[in-house]
């Protein structure tokens, strides 16, 4: 996300964090098809603060 590193972007799928807790990396492989996606949310600014320090890339 704009200017953030991989450690500052949090990926959540159905309430589960996909980021590795040790490295902050996340796998680009998400085992779902585009037809299964109901919505994608991008929280900007202070809205992401509820997810902690992993979600600061805005």
Per-residue confidence band for 53, with pLDDT thresholds at 50, 70 and 90: low
Q: Which residues of 1-58 form beta strands (DSSP E)?
A: 12-13, 16-17
Residue scoring higher pLDDT (58 or 3): 3
Q: Give the residue, 37 or 47, on which the prediction is more confident.
A: 37
Going from N- to C-terminal start, the domains of the chain cover 6-51
The two structure tokens encoding residue 39: 């919505």
Residue in the block written with tokens 């779902």: 32
Residue 45 above 60 pLDDT? yes
β-sheet bridge partners, residue 7: none
2-39 confidence digits (pLDDT tens): 666 667 777 788 888 877 777 767 766 777 888 988 88
38 vs 13, 22, 31, 47, 55, CA distance in Å?
A: 11, 29, 15, 21, 21
């Amino acid at each position: 996300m704009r200017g953030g590193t991989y450690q500052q972007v949090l990926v959540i799928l159905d309430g589960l964090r996909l980021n590795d807790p040790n490295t902050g990396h996340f796998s680009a492989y998400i085992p779902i098809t585009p037809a299964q996606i109901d919505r994608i949310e991008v929280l900007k600014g202070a809205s992401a603060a509820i997810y902690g320090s992993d979600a600061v890339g805005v």
